[in-house]
Homo-oligomer: A and B are copies of this chain.
Amino acid sequence: MKKITLLALLFIGSSGIYAQKSDEQVLKEIYKSALTNSKCYSWLDHLSNDIGSRLSGSASAEKAVQYTKAEMESIGFDRVFLQEVMVPKWVRGEKETAYILDNKTKINVPICALGGSVATSKNGLTAEVIEVQSLEELVTLGKDKIKGKIVFFNRPMDNAQIESFHAYSGAVDQRYAGAKEASKFGAVGTIVRSMNLRLDDFPHTGAQSYGDLPKSQYIPTAAISTNGAELLSKTLKNNPKVKFYFKQSCEQFDDVLSYNVVGEIKGSEHPENIMVVGGHLDSWDLADGSHDDGAGVVQSMEVVNIFNNLGYKPKNTIRVVLFMNEENGLRGGNKYEELSLVNKENHIFALESDSGGFSPRGFSLECDDAQFDKISSYAKVFEPYLIHSFVKGHSGSDIGPLTSKKIVKAGLKPDSQRYFDYHHAANDKFDAVDKRELELGAATMASLMYLIDKNGIETK
């Protein structure tokens, strides 16, 4: 009897040992490992405080590639490799200046160029301002009222939304397409209220696009802090002839070579099935990008650190993918899928963390109904960790391009209330991330990776 057990143990390996443990027991071990023996917080410390902001094409983005590659090599993947990807290189240049010109009074306000914007002339740009609440309002106003002016987009994010991402979706068209649309009506520049639910003094940058406008029609565009937007709006109500001045020297360079960083553990039973867990390595340039998306990067790496701590050998191939260029191009995500097609890879699951390092609340899932039922049936085992929210919805931008048949895609859903306090702004720094909240997110990701690895995504 004893002999048989011993022999059996020799053959069943670690996934066999794990087959004998209840899910409850494994999740307990996962959360304990994350809360008492994790590396993610110190990885984030280095990424944020020693490397800093990581805009695509910057020297620090390349440092981050080398650092995360080396760290992943040190924790025992089967292989760690880079995927070459050409990325846009946009540089902010000198710090922007701006003021409201009310008759002869200059009132300085905090702005920052939006990503991809052109510069103003060297002396800056001064013009009258027209405030609008939406892209549609441009059509109503027409060329006569817009031509030669700076369009000021001032529709606030809707504070009545419970989830802040819904408020963001409802307002971000002004930032992304404001300049393109206003230019069509002869505007000379645009100023956009920051995507921020709070009233404060931080301007929030972010991607904008001129779409298919001819280059001659590109106009400079910047975000203004929410307090600045309130002030500008109030000043305009008293004096519609108020002018606005801003100066920015940002510049778009040729694309440069960068990398996705990929760490891989071969599956012990189904090496052909790939499960991705990732975040994006690039950040905006105004701060460390500790929440967006340093947190997602180190949490994804932590998933494998937890598996190692537990001695768990996955049945499927696990890939930690640190995508480059989510913020202003999505080149890394697209490149990953392009190579996946070339290599005829079969992805069964992808999990992204790109909503900040806050207390985890659940998952947002892209899958069919039967798969959703299967995955949300795990809610019970997540309950002791206060993970309750399993919903259908957007998973993650970087894993968006993945198209493998039947793939399930998931996004970690942390508490969203504070996310837009920091998003793309100068305060998205290390000290805004709580160690335990970050670790609980990593544990939550590792737990879902474990359950999917064990049970697959097939449904009857």
Contact = CB atoms under 8 A, between A and B. Distances in A.
A437 interface: yes
How many copies the complex holds: the figure is: 2
A437 to B, nearest CB: 5
Interface residues of A, number: 27
A91 interface: no
A413 to B, nearest CB: 9
Interface string A242-267: 00000000000000000000000000
A247 to B, nearest CB: 31
Interface in A140-171: 159-160, 162-164
A389 interface: yes
Interface stretch (A5-13, A321-329, A340-348, A414-422): A414-422
B436 A159 contact: yes
A440 interface: yes
B160 A417 contact: no
B389 A417 contact: no
Nearest to A421: B434
Interface in A345-391: 359, 361, 384-386, 388-389
A386 B164 CA distance: 12
Contact of A437 (B32, B35, B417, B437): B417
Contacts of A35: 159-160, 162
A185 interface: no
Interface string A411-453: 0000101100100000000000011110010000000000000
A234 B31 CA distance: 28
A198 interface: yes
A252 B222 CA distance: 58
Contact of A388 (B162, B384, B388, B437): B388
A26 interface: no
Residue from A32, A163, A388, A421 whose CB has the most chain B CB atoms within 10 Å: A388
A177 interface: no
A74 interface: no
Contacts of A415: 359, 386, 415
Contact of A417 (B164, B384, B434): B434
A198 B436 CA distance: 9
Contacts of A437: 417-418
**Nearest 9 CB-CB pairs, A to B?**
A388-B388, A417-B436, A32-B160, A359-B415, A35-B159, A417-B437, A36-B159, A418-B434, A36-B160
Given A359-B417, A386-B388, 14 more contacts: A32-B160, A35-B159, A35-B160, A35-B162, A36-B159, A162-B384, A162-B386, A361-B386, A386-B389, A388-B388, A417-B437, A417-B440, A418-B434, A421-B434
26 contacts: A31-B160, A31-B162, A35-B160, A35-B162, A162-B385, A162-B386, A162-B440, A163-B386, A164-B436, A197-B436, A359-B359, A359-B415, A359-B417, A361-B386, A386-B389, A386-B415, A388-B388, A388-B389, A415-B415, A417-B436, A417-B437, A417-B440, A418-B434, A418-B436, A418-B437, A421-B434
